[in-house]
Structure 1
Amino acid sequence: MSAPDRPKAVVLLSGGLDSATCLAVARAEGYECHCLSFAYGQRHDVELEAARRVARALGAAEHKVIRLDLRAFGGSALTDDIEVPRPADEAEIGRGGIPVTYVPARNTIFLSFGLAWAEVLGAFDLFIGANALDYSGYPDCRPEFLEAFERVANLGTKAGAEGHRFRIHAPLLRLTKAEIIRKGAALGVDYGLTHSCYDPDPEGRACGGCDSCLLRKKGFREAGVPDPTPYRT
């Protein structure tokens, strides 16, 4: 397929391990990838520089960073003065229900922006690195949510009303973190460019103890792939 004939897709890109792999999958499937990241007031905004690195390395056609102030609402350890939890080990993650690192309605907000851009681009495919296995228990990573949003996309847009069909792709949804890492490594993802930690230090080093760091460590360990992450502990 020649470059002008490649279908366009909007890829939500946080700069983390999962979204980088998701971008690599979209590229491998032949899409011209337009990446969308968000500066939403998160304490781990070092991930935005990671997103820029990943977008460049994986040949994104375009990369936009949208600024939102979700700190105005708070309600999450990522956007409020709430301590980021550090479980004793991976087995503790999700035991207490939905964790305080959940950001209210985050994926609904991000997908809505992605949908708006997709409609302008004439793109009918949106990619998100949501995962329902090795994750922290967020309700907006469940397949039921993604299926419901796809229905909303097709009901609530001009393009949908005119007969076009939007599709929400979550290629990592049912993979373990180790399987995600193996897939990304096979597609040439340099995980040294990515960032996952919820509470990095001022130098951008990962804390090594938050939910996201523990799941990342577990994934590399089980995948048998060296973890390139600079941890401070």
Structure 2
Amino acid sequence: MKKAVVLLSGGLDSTTAVYLAKSQGYEVYAISFDYGQRQKKELESAQKVALAAGVKEHIVVKTNMNAWGGSALTDTNIDVPLGDENRKEIPVTYVPARNMIFLSFAASYAEVIGAQDIFIGVSEVDYSGYVDCRKEFIVAMEAAINLGTVCAAEHGKNIKIHAPFMNMTKADEIRLGMDLGVDYSLTWTCYRGEESACGECDSCILRLKAFKEAGYIDPIPYAKKA
């Protein structure tokens, strides 16, 4: 069976990516990151999703991106702002070069296990404008990976980065996930590390909007719904 490494945060997008990869016949190796984020609850969700989806292996990589902070997700001195769908600038919830770092780890993992496919749940639709979620970044990162791995550069076994939701609305993604049997009650999207999702940050607002547009009720608890 062909192998795929799937970046699994425990959120809506990455969880759907796990189920999509499985539906396409891949043996899934999930990789999650404890990078010093305030929303540690997402790691609990990632473990639950990996178990429910029956992935072949789930590893958690620990790194300390909170050592330099620079984001509301890794620096407790920076408040998570209220969500704003009309915001034009990149919000402070952007974690500098996060997907670049994550994909580098995923590429190393993929090379070791003999996987030529990496799945990541990024999108340019219904997103906060993060530069490392854009198509041009994914294309460039794939090229860099294939120049920097022996499997590709020396043996011609190129690694492909799949970003299946790049041009898909979150509502359509949820519909797809429902068809694939995703249990979204296991997922966590909120940027704040509290018992219930805040319902007010960018991530919560986008998620709630998507479930409403898809015609489903979001199954996770919220402190409030904006």
2:131 equivalent to 1:139: yes
- Work out the number of aligned pairs and report it: 222
* Aligned equivalent of 1:98, options 81, 86, 90: 90
> 1:97-176 maps to which residues of 2 (within 5 A)?
97-161=89-153, 162-176=155-169
Alpha-carbon separation, structure 1, partners of 2:21 and 2:188:
20
Alpha-carbon separation, structure 2, partners of 1:45 and 1:30:
31
* Aligned equivalent of 2:35, options 10, 32, 40: 40
Q: State the 1:200 CA deviation.
A: 3.3
Alpha-carbon separation, structure 1, partners of 2:85 and 2:126:
11
Structure 1 stretches of 5 or more lacking a match? 1-5
Per-residue deviation, residues 88-114 of structure 1 (Å, max 9, x unmatched): xx533xx24111000000000000000
Letter aligned with residue 143 of structure 2: R
Letter aligned with residue 196 of structure 2: R
Per-residue deviation, residues 58-91 of structure 1 (Å, max 9, x unmatched): 110000000010011100000012010113xx53
Q: CA RMSD in A?
A: 0.8
* Aligned equivalent of 1:215, options 196, 200, 206: 206
TM-score, normalized by length of structure 1? 0.94
Alpha-carbon separation, structure 1, partners of 2:31 and 2:181:
21
TM-score, normalized by length of structure 2? 0.96
> 1:44-59 maps to which residues of 2 (within 5 A)?
44-59=39-54
Structure 2 stretches of 5 or more lacking a match? none
Letter aligned with residue 85 of structure 2: A
Per-residue deviation, residues 179-226 of structure 1 (Å, max 9, x unmatched): 01000000000000000000132xx21011000000000000000011
Matched-pair identity in %:
56
